[in-house]
Amino acid sequence: MSKPLPKFVSDELLTGLQKLMMLRLEGAPPADGIKLTASVWMEAIASLPIQWDEQQDAGRVPTCRRHWARYSCPYRPPPSH
């Protein structure tokens, strides 16, 4: 059984998923599936053998999310004006 994620990790994960939903990218999870998507991501990350340290990792988690978003998007949507 995985240990629950620290609050700072789960909060950042949820923030990232909310931002993903706002972009409405092709292949993104449907709006009605966001809770299950968050649950699956949290379960997957919680299963990793990581000893979380908020002081060290608080900046790493959002950096990782931004890196993933930058390199996993096949295109960048134009800004809406």
The DSSP line for 53-81 is -HHHHTTHHHHHHHHHHHHH-SS-PPPP-
Residue 68 lies in a domain: yes
Taking each helix axis as running N to C, give the angle between helix 7-23 and helix 60-72, from 0 to 180 degrees, rounded to the nearest 10: 30
Q: Which domain holds residue 64?
A: 7-72
Tally of domains in the chain: 1
Residue 80 lies in a domain: no
**Cα gap 76→72, rounded to integer Å:** 10
**Cα gap 4→24, rounded to integer Å:** 29
Residue 59 lies in a domain: yes
Residue 77 lies in a domain: no
Residue 78 lies in a domain: no
Residue 81 lies in a domain: no
| Tens digit of pLDDT at every position of the chain (81 positions) | 578 899 999 999 899 888 888 877 777 778 888 889 899 989 999 999 999 999 999 899 888 878 877 776 666 666 766
**Cα gap 41→17, rounded to integer Å:** 10
Residue 23 lies in a domain: yes
